[in-house]
Amino acid sequence: MKILVVGSGGREHTLAWKLCQSAIVDQIYCAPGNGGIAQIATCVDLPADDLGGLADFAQQESIDLTVVGPEAPLVAGIVDLFTERGLTIYGPTQAAARLEGSKSFTRELLRKYDIDHIRFEVFTDAAEAKAYVRRQGAPIVVKADGLAAGKGVKVAQTVAEAEAHIDLCLEQGGYGSAGQTVIVEECLIGQECSIKVFTDGETVVPMVPSQDYKPIGDGDVGPNTGGMGCYSPVPAVDDEVFYYIVNQLIRPTIAAMAAEGIPYMGTLYAGCILTDAGPKLLEYNCRFGDPETQVVLPRLDADLVEILQATVEGRLGELDIRWKQDRCVCVVLASDGYPGSYETGKPISGLAQVAGWEDVMVFHAGTTRRDGQLVTTGGRVLGVTALGASYKAARDRAYQAVAIIDFENKYYRTDIAQRAV
């Protein structure tokens, strides 16, 4: 069969890598792809937001299954368009993708169905939002309602910080239409974790948990990024915590969506925080995470193509999906300056030296091939990933590869998975 992967980052490289392992796959395309993906798939010069162009390509090439990586095409309705054209695609509809596309929609849904309990209010008026912040006090969290590339959330330690973020969203248009509405939430304290599930709208199959590192600096300091590293499984997520997140948060949410006439199909990703009062939901994402996918899919001991097909066809319950016991660690190599301004076009060395290492995978996020040389094109450049029998073995292996791979102004955190070790 022929598969199209939509997107250009480390998540999409990981998806293509795992899909390639299926015996029933003949050809994989990726639009637009990157320098690493080009080594295992045919890259197509179509941006992920060109929904019509992607649908045209899928029809012309008789694509059997399209897998969407990033959230923006899902929120824009790519699944609806493909379905209207009789094309098979994995992911939620535009209406269902509101679970990520609108934080206020999600909070109101959870409140209506008595699923998660945190204090929040929704505002479109800056003065009203600020008055609420002053009544609640700090620390407090201010979120842009829509998609803001992971940068619309402010964990404010002071009232002044919260008010500044409200102004950025509602008065200064810092996030465009995504920031025309803000959600102000209580600040939750604890370790974060992510649990993703496959769901066909009825059956829910959990994936293994992972823990992401959002802040740029060691010790979780500095501005938030798209993710500087990740590991799986998570020691803090014991059987009781895992059961609660899956059965008290995720399953009821999927049931609530069905009750609203908005069946959810695809991957649903619950970003949670483990508070002293139990797990609480930070946000839902309507797709595979990045870099969480880089540590989850290497642990999947099953055919991903069969899982995605069964999900789309509503027969997920027929499958027996297994996971490896190995630990997995991913360290992101970034361009110095990220998530602010940074330079690109830096030649990358050392990839050939680690290419043959057992249980080491290097997933490309921001690379391209220029004049025969792989060079950097993004803030997050590579996700250096390793499997191991223990956290220490996986972590040591990943950092051994990190030491060999190089490019000018390379930056990475040195403490990924240290708490697990």
- pLDDT tens for the chain, 421 residues: list them: 999 999 999 999 999 999 999 999 999 999 999 999 999 999 999 999 999 999 999 999 999 999 999 999 999 999 999 999 999 999 999 999 999 999 999 999 999 999 988 999 999 999 999 999 999 999 999 999 999 877 788 899 999 999 999 999 999 999 999 999 999 999 999 999 999 999 999 999 999 999 999 999 999 999 888 899 999 999 999 999 999 999 999 999 999 999 999 999 999 999 999 999 999 999 999 999 999 999 999 999 999 999 999 999 999 999 999 999 999 999 999 999 999 999 999 999 999 999 989 999 999 999 999 998 999 999 999 999 999 999 999 999 999 999 999 999 999 999 999 999 9
> What CATH class is the domain 125-180?
alpha beta
**269 CA to centre of own chain:** 8
Whole-angstrom distance, CA of residue 183 vs CA of residue 122:
5
- Nearest Cα residue to 288 out of 59, 3, 18: 18
Query: In the CATH hierarchy, which top-level class contains the domain 327-411?
Result: alpha beta
| CB-based contact 329:398 (threshold 8 Å) | yes
CA nearest neighbour of 30 among 52, 1, 54: 54
CATH number of 2-93: 3.40.50.20
What CATH architecture is 191-318? 2-Layer Sandwich (3.30)
Give Cα separations from 172 to 94, 158, 160, 233, 411 (angstroms). 28, 20, 16, 41, 31
Q: What is the structure's pLDDT at 417?
A: 97
Q: In 288-390, which residue ranges form alpha helices assigned H by DSSP?
A: 292-296, 304-312, 351-354
How do the domains of the chain map onto residue ranges?
Answer: 2-93, 125-180, 191-318, 327-411
Instruction: Name 183's Cβ contacts closer than 8 Å, sequence gap at least 6.
Output: 103, 104, 107, 120, 121, 122, 123, 142, 143, 145
Cα atoms in the 13 Å half-sphere on the side-chain side of 189? 6
CA nearest 99: which of 286, 259, 255?
286
Q: Of 361, 191, 155, nearest to 276 (Cα)?
A: 191
Q: How far apart are CA 16 and CA 24, in angstroms?
A: 14
Distance CA 255, CA 246 (A): 12
* Interatomic CA distance for residues 278 and 293, integer angstroms: 25
Rg (CA), the chain: 21
Question: For residue 308, which phi and psi values (nearest 5 degrees)?
Answer: -65, -40
Write out the DSSP string of 30-51: EEE--TTGGGTSEE-S--TT-H
In 331-373, which residue ranges form alpha helices assigned H by DSSP?
351-354
